[in-house]
Amino acid sequence: MLYLNKSRKINLISNRNLESRKTALKLKEKFTQRGFIISEKYNPDAELNICVGGDGAFLSAVHKYKFTNIPFIGINTGHLGFFQEILPENIDTFISKYINKDYTIEEISLVSAKIHTKKKTFYLTGVNEVVIKGMKSKVIHLDLSIDGNHLEKFSGDGIIVSTPAGSTAYSFSSGGSVIYPSLETLQITPLSPINSKAYRSLQNSAVIPGSSIITIEPENRYINSILVVNDGIEFSYDNIQQIDFTMPSKKIYKLNFDKNMYWNNLKNKFL
């Protein structure tokens, strides 16, 4: 049966592995049969972005599409797939629920990093996390402040600043807490902190309000030996003086077809 949805447009993004390409083709055929217009390049007039692959494909699409307000949904052909909630065998159910508007729209908070160097300021935005670490796995020393209040002189491999969505990613693997997605918080998770007579660093993560500003200042000898890693992509800057982390008002949006999906996902992926 054909549905008259010819003005309705969908962006379809897929990674290149065989299973993803087969699933994307199936999606395109089924949505086209129902009258949707499917674009494999970004169409700003689309009503939905469908990402086929793993979490990497989801994050790549969000960054590539510059944190668009068009909602996302993920079809999981990867391994973990925490963002990718729909399995390929459930495509028909997904399409039926989508057409019948049997879903909610979930807001996903982001993290912003404002990187001050001697000559210029750079801006990054992350879905999961922004990480400050030493180049070539060197130990680094960083002054960490919250809203202008000095908290610690950190020594270790680095610091993760993550969103609630990112709390189940790198931060979780590094001993951070799981934060429910609707909570507007940022989490500071230390990477291999040194705790000795010479150095005193927090050993556990700290969860702070999303309205707070986290400031990291490297010791002068480390200003040219720091990597900034944004959702897995590495950046390096000369003469870093200070990095400010905030939770911006900007959000991205994701469809949710099951109110219990988060807890089911958490159990199925990690326990």
Feature table: binding site for NAD(+): 55-56, 128-129, 157, 165, 168-173
DSSP, res 25: H
Q: Quick one: how far is CA 155 from the chain centroid?
A: 26
Instruction: Give Cα 267 distance to the centre of its chain.
Output: 20
> Which of 45, 55, 102, 238 does the annotation list as catalytic?
55
Rounded CA separation 151/167 (Å): 21
* 55 noted as active-site residue: yes
Report which of 98, 231, 81 is spatially closest to residue 162, judged by C-alpha positions: 231
Per DSSP, what are the bridge partners of residue 75? 52, 86
How far, in Å, are 56, 117, 209, 228 from residue 82 at the CA level?
Answer: 10, 35, 24, 24
Which residues participate in the annotated binding site? 55-56, 128-129, 157, 165, 168-173
**In contact, 65 and 55? CB cutoff 8 Å:** no
> Closest Cα to residue 240, out of 257, 227, 258, 259?
227
Other beta carbons within 10 Å of 260 = 8
* CA pair distance 166, 126, nearest whole angstrom: 9
How far is residue 19's CA from residue 265's CA, in Å, rounded to a whole number? 21
Could you give phi then psi for residue 257, rounded to 5 degrees?
-100, 0
CB 176 within 8 A of CB 189: yes
- 127, 233 contact by CB (below 8 A): no
| Residues with active-site annotation | 55
